[in-house]
Structure 1
Amino acid sequence: MTDQTPSAAIPSAPITQDVMTLPRKLPQTDRINLVGLTRDQLRDALIAAGTPERQAKMRVGQVWQWIYHWGVRDFADMTNLAKDYRALLAQHFTIALPELVTRQVSSDGTRKYLVRIAGGHEVEVVYIPEEGRGTLCVSSQVGCTLTCSFCHTGTQKLVRNLTAGEIVGQLMLARDDLGEWPVQGAPKDETRLVSNVVMMGMGEPLYNFENVRDAMKVVMDGEGLSLSRRRITLSTSGVVPEIARTAEEIGCLLAVSFHATTDEVRDRLVPINKRWNIATLLDALRDYPRLTNSERITFEYVMLDGVNDTDADARRLVKLIQGIPAKINLIPFNEWPGAPYRRSSPERIRAFADIVYKAGYASPIRTPRGEDIMAACGQLKSATERGRKSAAQIAAETAAS
């Protein structure tokens, strides 16, 4: 992930895992997948398939509601459309989601999904239930190019960007698993199990800008999945040229994987800092709340023992962000096999938080979620990639023996 979710000890409890046997490659089809198309793209596709242009706006609204409000996957079930038109849709289009490979449930209720996309590649998605809300952590790339030294995903090479459909499909898959789609004829239920989306999964969202933007347009549309822009947070490690564009073309809340108060330390933790340093990044962030009417920017700060957790770091941090409406999420480091860092002590984290709070900034310390299933932020890495690495290590050990 582009930032870290906290991870203290979690009480031991059984971990449940559902494993499905699936083909190594998803079935290929010449039909166009409607999932992830924006309204304009859907309109063009329907017209190209033979929908009269004068009917296109109405048809877009009907199909859109079936897919994104009701969660329907079969055109035959779109009962307010004529049978011959449903047949036309089925001939040219499909409604396809990523395939669920495994589902793990943590002792704290966190769910981690391993999903397979076209080409047999795999990404991880995490659902975090909380009182009165539920947050889905969505991936934007297979792997990552950023090589942040504290992040497990950063040890996996970038394979490819996800399409808009593969991004939207993660939310739809989670709603499938949670049974969240409304039932026709049943009383209206306003409860949202997935009430928030965070683009903090595998990959750097701003290195896949167009697909992320289009996916968020679908998710924010009020006649479908209907999550407001204030319920969506995009996390970036600091791709400066795309920050203003994010404000203008997406307009969601912004989080920044900050993690250091000097360029020397941030160069090591977040290597993209060598391209756009702290001063350049902060200059780009100062206009973001104004451009989007966002209340504040979230600065993600992973607490690493002896690296970035001193009182001097805390004082530098509040001085650096002065003038930016902000909150600071302090994140105890989530350890993973072979990690080069240790988590700061609870006492050190509290002392750091106290300095930030007294300077006038909210400084919540994240509650650990899903660490027992490697679902915490910074820990995501596909099972396929872990398997390949394990096989390579075994081969190397065998050759050396």
Structure 2
Amino acid sequence: MAVALDIARQNPNAPVLAAVAAVPADDPRPSLIGLTREEMAEALIGAGIAPAQARMRVSQLWHWLYHRGVTDFAEMTNVAKDLRARLAGIFTLARPEIVAEQISTDGTRKWLMRFPARGAGRPVEVETVYIPEEGRGTLCVSSQVGCTLTCTFCHTGTQTLVRNLTAEEIVAQILVARDRLGDHPGGTAPTDGAMPSEGRAVTNIVMMGMGEPLYNFDHVKAALVIASDGEGIALSRRRITLSTSGVVPMIHRAGDEIGVMLAISLHAVRDDLRDVLVPLNRKYPIAELLEACRNYPGLSNARRITFEYVMLKGVNDSPADARALVRLLNGIPAKINLIPFNPWPGSPYECSDWETIETFADIVNKAGYASPIRTPRGRDILAACGQLKSETQRMRARERLALGAMVAGTAD
């Protein structure tokens, strides 16, 4: 039985829903979710299914898991009852526990999900965000619990890396979102928030949540192959974007083996500044990063790289920075996403003034780059770019800030 958990609200007007039922954390059964077709066939053969039948059974299960979104083998009506019972005794299709679901005043949804312990580890939490817009719905998916990169403008970067997420856990975030949004065939869309006016609820996936995807390459690859499989979740690879802070040796491999759209967290036009904002730059400086971008497989005007640029007041937002950005990207089919900085407790930066952002955008737009200013979404529930963090870590950070204030007050 699930226990209803309450999490302190970041905004009293943003509802937090009760936890959703999940299987016990000590369930010993392995999941079929996140396995490649080959791995699933091996698992079924190990469960006693004849090798000659395994491929057919994989196709059946694949359809039920990813197209229909079932969570119970009993729902697989074209599979014999005795086989369904046998599979249910060996495998699980369980979703992670939803500790909380928050809905922003602008319709953005954020789920805090808890995954069971792995080996000798502890249960872990990640955040996943859904952004509804007219004609599309974008799901921001996490790849790690925490992060190693310590980007100074990013709240996630203040949480140390706990571990990589498995392919199962990455795919599970997509399935949970589709469950909650009624996005499976026959599903019912929620009425308590904005949704696309027609079509699928989840039309796009961005690997822009917690963690650096290219430091968890194999699991991210396996998950995105499932997401783009025409008989599975069936999203076009052009509707899936992988964002990296610049793990240069893995960029070509990502294009070659995964083939999704690429986004680069750039945020600065000089190495000395990017060394501070994105410390990974000390290992892979801007020139090396941009050379890897120029060689990204499939790069063309129809498959442009997105360069993300957070606007930090007095730090990287001058007209000179804008002109330098244009020069840096010369010859690369690209677009630039300008991201107003989203503050978080204890952050050392401020967002650039709106007039400054518009001036910056005018310069890069006149140079021929599509440069939308990404309107902040979900700020009131800490769901915007750079704000994600497990609630446990966020609570500990609040406790440290409160303790620091108390000590300072005592000293005064």
RMSD: 2.1
The aligned residue for residue 205 of structure 1 is: 213
CA distance, structure 2, for counterparts of residue 248 and residue 21 of structure 1: 38
1:26·1:117 contact (CA, 8 Å) conserved in 2? no
After superposing the two structures, state which structure 1 stretch, 281-290 or 124-133, moved more. 281-290
After superposing the two structures, state which structure 1 stretch, 269-278 or 48-57, moved more. 48-57
1:97·1:165 contact (CA, 8 Å) conserved in 2? no
1:122·1:142 contact (CA, 8 Å) conserved in 2? yes
Shift of 1:290: 3.0
Deviations along 1:307-327, one digit per CA (max 9) or x if unpaired, are 111111111111111111000
2:251 matches 1:252:
no
The aligned residue for residue 125 of structure 2 is: 122
Shift of 1:97: 1.8
Shift of 1:292: 8.7
2:139 matches 1:140:
no
2:320 matches 1:317:
no
The aligned residue for residue 68 of structure 2 is: 70
Superposition TM-score, scaled by structure 1 size? 0.92
Match of 1:327 among 327, 335, 342: 335
The aligned residue for residue 110 of structure 1 is: 108
- Runs of 5+ in structure 2 lacking a partner? 1-10, 118-122, 188-196
Alignment CA distance shift 1:32-1:190 (3 Å): farther
Shift of 1:29: 2.6
The aligned residue for residue 179 of structure 1 is: 182
Match of 1:241 among 236, 249, 253: 249
Identity over aligned pairs, percent? 62
1:142-181 paired onto structure 2 within 5 Å: 142-181=145-184
Alignment CA distance shift 1:104-1:205 (3 Å): same
CA distance, structure 2, for counterparts of residue 228 and residue 294 of structure 1: 14
Shift of 1:13: 8.8
Deviations along 1:125-170, one digit per CA (max 9) or x if unpaired, are 1000000000000001111100000001101111010010110000
The aligned residue for residue 277 of structure 1 is: 285
The aligned residue for residue 6 of structure 1 is: none
Shift of 1:39: 1.1
Alignment CA distance shift 1:45-1:362 (3 Å): same
Alignment CA distance shift 1:60-1:44 (3 Å): same
Alignment CA distance shift 1:319-1:397 (3 Å): closer
CA distance, structure 2, for counterparts of residue 351 and residue 398 of structure 1: 42
After superposing the two structures, state which structure 1 stretch, 76-85 or 324-333, moved more. 76-85
Matched to 1:16, the amino acid is P
Question: Which has the higher relative contact order, 1 or 2, with Cα contacts under 8 A spaced 6 or more apart?
Answer: 1
Shift of 1:249: 1.0
1:218·1:225 contact (CA, 8 Å) conserved in 2? yes
1:248·1:291 contact (CA, 8 Å) conserved in 2? no
Superposition TM-score, scaled by structure 2 size? 0.89
The aligned residue for residue 4 of structure 1 is: none
1:38-53 paired onto structure 2 within 5 Å: 38-53=36-51
Alignment CA distance shift 1:331-1:101 (3 Å): same
1:340-355 paired onto structure 2 within 5 Å: 340-355=348-363
Shift of 1:112: 0.7
CA distance, structure 1, for counterparts of residue 198 and residue 61 of structure 2: 22
Shift of 1:354: 0.9
Deviations along 1:223-251, one digit per CA (max 9) or x if unpaired, are 12111101100000000111011011110
The aligned residue for residue 5 of structure 2 is: none
Matched to 1:34, the amino acid is L
1:128·1:369 contact (CA, 8 Å) conserved in 2? yes
* SS state at 1:331 partner: strand
Alignment CA distance shift 1:294-1:39 (3 Å): farther
CA distance, structure 1, for counterparts of residue 175 and residue 231 of structure 2: 15
The aligned residue for residue 17 of structure 1 is: 16
Deviations along 1:235-268, one digit per CA (max 9) or x if unpaired, are 0000011101101111000000000000001000
CA distance, structure 1, for counterparts of residue 375 and residue 306 of structure 2: 16
- Runs of 5+ in structure 1 lacking a partner? 1-11
Shift of 1:21: 8.2
After superposing the two structures, state which structure 1 stretch, 111-120 or 26-35, moved more. 26-35
Deviations along 1:315-341, one digit per CA (max 9) or x if unpaired, are 111111111100000111111111111
Alignment CA distance shift 1:292-1:27 (3 Å): farther
Shift of 1:26: 4.9
The aligned residue for residue 55 of structure 1 is: 53
The aligned residue for residue 223 of structure 2 is: 215
2:338 matches 1:339:
no
Matched to 2:13, the amino acid is P
* SS state at 2:298 partner: helix
The aligned residue for residue 85 of structure 1 is: 83
For this pair of structures, how many residues does the alignment match? 385
Matched to 2:159, the amino acid is Q
Shift of 1:200: 0.3
After superposing the two structures, state which structure 1 stretch, 389-398 or 303-312, moved more. 389-398
The aligned residue for residue 367 of structure 2 is: 359
After superposing the two structures, state which structure 1 stretch, 211-220 or 113-122, moved more. 113-122
Deviations along 1:324-364, one digit per CA (max 9) or x if unpaired, are 10000011111111111111111111111111111111111
2:300·2:333 contact (CA, 8 Å) conserved in 1? no
CA distance, structure 1, for counterparts of residue 350 and residue 401 of structure 2: 24
CA distance, structure 2, for counterparts of residue 225 and residue 244 of structure 1: 25
CA distance, structure 1, for counterparts of residue 116 and residue 77 of structure 2: 30
* SS state at 1:366 partner: coil
Alignment CA distance shift 1:397-1:307 (3 Å): closer
CA distance, structure 1, for counterparts of residue 257 and residue 58 of structure 2: 22
